[in-house]
Amino acid sequence: MCSEQAGARGVLTAEDYATRMEAYASAGMARARRIGNRGPVRFDECGKVHPDIVDAYWKHGFYVFENVLHEVEVEELRRDVNDLLARAPIRPGAIVDAEGNPALGIDMKRNPYFFVKPLSDPVGGTSASHGRHQSKMTEAAPAEGAPEYVVQIIAGMCQLIESGLRVYGHPHLLAVAEAINGPDFVPYNDAIFTKQPGLGGSVAWHQDGVTHWDSPDWDEGIHGVNFQAQLNRTSAFSCLWVVPGTHKLGRVDIQARVDANGGSDQLPDAIPLHCEPGDVTIVNRQTLHSSFANTSDDFRVSVSWGFHRRKAVAGQHGHLMQPADVVYDDDFIDQRASVVQVAIDARRQVYRDETPFVYQPFKGAADRFRWCPETFERVIRDYNTRDIAI
Ligand SMILES: O=C(O)CCC(=O)C(=O)O
């Protein structure tokens, strides 16, 4: 779209948007360098995640693990995600892909695909997800000839791609989940975020939890932690941004922050979690976070999943993913958690030189959860109807 057309519609061109990001991106990179909070996963002499890393996570509400996934695994994930994108429905509501074949996963009980208009913010300032995206992000007009919609999220990776199931069982990442949420940690959901160059939409500033803000048991870890494995290099123009330390504050008045910032979504104190392929970020779900419209050349693919403390979800209602009368009782939680055990075995069958993670809730029960066609039907098929979202 030319600048006159964009201007007439009251939105920025992609070029203007990118220019507007430049100073903010470089200031954010400087802040990120000062904080650091990144490096490889390290363990102590007992084989536990190094306490310095755990402390750093609790201090800032995030950590960037460098070089977690080897090139071969990143390449498999990339190939599988590209295949998923090629076989996604051609538009929201469609059931066929660009070749006219049934879209992959369209038979799942929960439609895996979430679309956005290029460079838009579909949820900021709406009541979606309990209104947690309080303020609308700046939008931009994509280049001439851009598609009307692009895929932003693909859910259900443990069913759709085996590489997705295998990364879910990664021993170092499960050790991190255990270090943060305790040995009886349980899964949340998963979502592959894709942000194509010049097209990817934004995700407005938000905190993820909805359940415990006013709970007498509230603390800085009660809404869990999210992981994102990066398949491609990301920059400040394409990656996830966080405001360090906000996981400690309780519910943040995001609109007040935007207003105090002259109405701009470029919040001060935020930092970009830029990454190399194979890096994995972890972000406390209470940390204020967002991502901007992707006007860069980066093709960001973030394979995302998360974990909770069991006691934070036990007995809670399905506020986000299921009808409100669904209760997360022991059966519900165990069934969803068994996906982790199957993932551990799926990984063991391929990465023979790794020591598999011992998931305490299933210790002694591993044989009932070997990765095979029977567990695909019993555990994996439509597992994400049992995502545990609080
Ligand atoms: O990765 C992104 O761009 C957004 C992720 C996010 O908002 C989330 O995981 O809650």
Q: Is residue 124 part of a domain?
A: yes
CA distance to 186, 225, 241, 273, 382, per residue, from 228 (Å): 17, 10, 12, 10, 22
Residue 318 pLDDT level (bands cut at 50, 70, 90): confident
226 lines ligand 1 (CB under 6 A): yes
pLDDT of residue 10: 61
- Give the residue, out of 289, 294, 300, with the most ligand 1 atoms within 8 A of its beta carbon, to mutate for a pocket test: 289
291 lines ligand 1 (CB under 6 A): yes
Q: Is residue 184 part of a domain?
A: yes
240 lines ligand 1 (CB under 6 A): yes
pLDDT (tens digit per residue) in 346-366: 999 999 999 999 999 999 999
pLDDT (tens digit per residue) in 75-104: 999 999 999 999 999 999 999 999 999 999
Q: Is residue 97 part of a domain?
A: yes
What is the whole-number distance in angstroms between the Cα of residue 301 and the centre of ligand 1? 11
Burial of 381 from C-beta contacts in 10 A (0-12 / 13-18 / 19+): middle
Find the CATH number of the domain harbouring 75.
Answer: 2.60.120.620
Residue 210 has a CB neighbour count (10 Å cut-off) of: 16
**Per-position DSSP letters for 295-316, written without gaps between them:** -SS--EEEEEEEEE-HHHHTT-
Cα–Cα dist 83/100, whole Å: 15
Cα–Cα dist 379/373, whole Å: 10
pLDDT of residue 6: 56
Does residue 2 register a pLDDT over 70? no
What is the whole-number distance in angstroms between the Cα of residue 193 and the centre of ligand 1? 7
208 lines ligand 1 (CB under 6 A): yes
CA-proximal residue: ligand 1, atom 10 (nearest)? 208
237 lines ligand 1 (CB under 6 A): no
375 lines ligand 1 (CB under 6 A): no
Q: What radius of gyration do the chain's Cα atoms show?
A: 20
Percent of the chain with pLDDT over 70: 97
Does residue 177 register a pLDDT over 60? yes
Q: Is residue 223 part of a domain?
A: yes
- Give the residue, out of 193, 265, 298, 303, with the most ligand 1 atoms within 8 A of its beta carbon, to mutate for a pocket test: 193
13 lines ligand 1 (CB under 6 A): no
pLDDT of residue 215: 95
Q: Domain count of the chain?
A: 1
Q: Is residue 356 part of a domain?
A: no
Q: Supply the range of the domain harboring residue 30.
A: 3-311
Q: Is residue 197 part of a domain?
A: yes
| 191 CA closest ligand 1 atom index | 9
> Regarding predicted confidence, which is higher, 277 or 322?
277
Residue 324 pLDDT level (bands cut at 50, 70, 90): confident
* Averaged pLDDT, 256-278: 98
Q: Is residue 327 part of a domain?
A: no
302 lines ligand 1 (CB under 6 A): yes
What integer best gives the mean pLDDT of the chain? 96
